[in-house]
Amino acid sequence: MAATITQERITGRGWAVLFVLCGAIFLEGIDVSMMGVALPSIRAELGLATGELQWIVSAYALGYGGFVLLGGRAADLLGRRRMFVGWLAIFLMFSGLGGFATEGWVLILARFVTGIAAAFMTPAGLSIITTTYTEGPQRDRALLVYAGTAAGGFSLGMVTGGLLSSIDWRWVFFAPVLVSAIVLAGALALIPRDVRTPGPRHGFDIIGTLTLTGAMMLLISTVVRAPDVARGQTVGTGIAGLAVLALFILIERRAKSPLVRLGILRNAGLVRANLGAILLVGSFVGFQFVAVLYLQELRHWSELETGLALMVIGIDSVLAPTLTPWLVKRFGNPRVVFGGFALATLAYAAFLPLKADWTYTAMLPAFILLGLAFALTYGPLTIAATDGVPENEQGLASGVLTTSFQFGSALGLAVVAAVLTATDVLTVDRFRAGLVVPLIAAVLGLLIAGRGLLVIARPREVSRTS
């Protein structure tokens, strides 16, 4: 465990450590979104169908979501720095492998292993923050900067992906190798070595680990395979995943040292934050998939033109670490999250009337609103998902949140892909039908955020009547 920084303000070394961790989460965010813009170019060279194309993104989500809770627990038990540095190196290697792929299955395999690496690296990095910076204003500031960097990477990746794909789509894989090498050097130099805490150290819940990982992989596989033709097989996979998940719950109830303490789910704020994370990222990834295919395959825009068109969404990379902390301090997390989902709802609704000859001016309001929505929502959800969680379970809470982000990504992409592939030809009407999915997700997020506002309002009402 890293030494805790106890000052209220973040020190110079604290900022240096945070910069390294932000570099890793920026890498993870940009890696995911760059892929979305590069998909048409990859399809053209490797000859993949629309249903197969989603597996390039979904394989990553499958590896990520299937192993991330194990990654969070491994960070708590085996050392956060050790997990962060080791799996960052694996992330680097397999990202490079994807760049050399000449067949679709090699590319999908590389994405799957890269996702596993991110599943161990990301919760370790987040839990380093939550155990290094003092809970309160200092930790909130660090988390908002960290989450803002992630959101910025996620949105700026669309621009970067367009620029790199205009040269060669393989640079979408090679560029993260260069960034990973820089972050790895910084991590080795700046992140303190893990300190063994006193007291008994329990081993892994091996059976629980295997059943949970198996259940997560089966369930996420069910989601990402939803658009496939083999509907009966997909349903069978889903039933099997639910059965294994039920077995995991039974195991955890009896385990002396459970992988996941089920009582952590009694934290209503944590549950609301994770549901919000699923809906936020799911709607965003689904929207990105529709927007990219609309611009490149219906409008025949180039990768560079598509990336530049979506660049305005990257406004969150500026606002998330600057405006959002002030808003959270002024109005509190629940109100800021509610406002973010309200803006997301407006963004998707504004894009819904798209036409075959829409001008960029007509699209721009939706892109600006979406950038604002991401800036207001991503960071506060991260705070809510880890606030009040004991230090020895910060890795677990981080893993649960990361699972929600990845499951939401897979779910949003799969549902949108299923809608788009319902007919053989991609038309404007089909794109509009696909846009209904992120709109519904944003509305659900707004309702959940509203529930959080009611929860914080009730204590005030009680205090007024007492």
Closest CA to 321 of 3, 5, 15: 15
Give me Rg for the CA atoms of the chain. Answer: 21
Q: What is the rounded distance in angstroms from the CA atom of residue 312 to the CA atom of residue 365?
A: 10
Confidence of residue 1 (pLDDT cuts 50, 70, 90): very low
Token pair of 241, please? 């995943």
- Span 212-241, mean pLDDT? 73
Predicted confidence (pLDDT) at residue 466 exceeds the cutoff of 50: no
pLDDT at 458: 52
User: Which range scores top for mean pLDDT: 84-88, 216-220, 250-254?
Assistant: 84-88
Predicted confidence (pLDDT) at residue 201 exceeds the cutoff of 60: no
Q: What is the rounded distance in angstroms from the CA atom of residue 322 to the CA atom of residue 347?
A: 22
Tens of pLDDT, residue by residue over 255-311, are 877 777 788 888 888 899 999 999 999 999 899 889 988 998 889 888 778 878 888
Contacts of 121 by beta carbon, 8 Å cutoff, 6+ apart: 24, 28, 71, 83, 84, 87, 88, 91
Tens of pLDDT, residue by residue over 161-183, are 888 888 888 999 999 999 999 99
Q: Which amino acid is at 350?
A: A
Q: What is the pTM of this model?
A: 0.77
- Span 225-246, mean pLDDT? 76
pLDDT higher at 129 or 395: 129
Confidence of residue 358 (pLDDT cuts 50, 70, 90): very high
- First-to-last alpha carbon distance for the chain, in angstroms, is 44
Residues recorded for the chain: 466
Contact by Cβ (8 Å): 201, 106: no
Q: What is the rounded distance in angstroms from the CA atom of residue 29 to the CA atom of residue 313?
A: 14
Q: Which residue has the tokens 């990973």?
A: 180
Q: Which residue has the tokens 């195991």?
A: 251
Determine the longest span between alpha carbons in the chain, in angstroms.
Answer: 70
Distances (CA, A) of 81 to 72, 203, 241, 344, 419: 12, 18, 32, 36, 42
By percentage, how much of the chain surpasses pLDDT 90? Answer: 28
- Span 193-211, mean pLDDT? 68
The average confidence (pLDDT) of the chain is 83
pLDDT at 220: 72
Predicted confidence (pLDDT) at residue 317 exceeds the cutoff of 70: yes
pLDDT at 328: 87
Q: At what angle do helices 394-420 and 50-78 cross, to 10 degrees?
A: 180
pLDDT higher at 271 or 147: 271
- Span 105-113, mean pLDDT? 90
Q: Which residue has the tokens 């406004």?
A: 315
Predicted confidence (pLDDT) at residue 443 exceeds the cutoff of 70: yes
Distances (CA, A) of 24 to 2, 91, 192: 17, 10, 16
